[in-house]
């Protein structure tokens, strides 16, 4: 998936394990800005086991690693 196709607030799956976990997109972070020290774009996500979980981890994924659910 391309960075411009990411919709903030929408749930996505990770491409290597599409049956476990949900990534809710929070924001797209450009390279070398703020928390992103990488040379590529990352998507800040809330990672949870179920879509409606109250507890989630904050993770950063490349846009290419996310697939639409």
Reported as a single tens digit per residue, the pLDDT across 7-46 is: 999 999 999 988 999 999 999 999 999 899 999 999 999 9
Confidence (pTM): 0.90
Tokens of 65: 């690693």
Where do the domains of the chain lie?
3-68
Which whole number is the average pLDDT over 4-8?
A: 96
Cβ pair 7, 24 in contact under 8 A: no
Which whole number is the average pLDDT over 46-58?
A: 94
Does position 69 have pLDDT exceeding 90, yes or no? no
Does position 3 have pLDDT exceeding 90, yes or no? yes
């Amino acid at each position: 998936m391309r960075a411009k196709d990411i919709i903030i607030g929408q749930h996505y799956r990770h491409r290597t394990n599409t049956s476990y976990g949900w990534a809710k997109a929070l924001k797209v972070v450009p390279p070398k800005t703020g928390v992103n020290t990488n040379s590529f774009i990352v998507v800040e996500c809330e990672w949870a086991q179920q879509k409606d979980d109250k507890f989630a981890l904050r993770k950063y994924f490349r846009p290419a690693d996310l697939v639409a659910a």
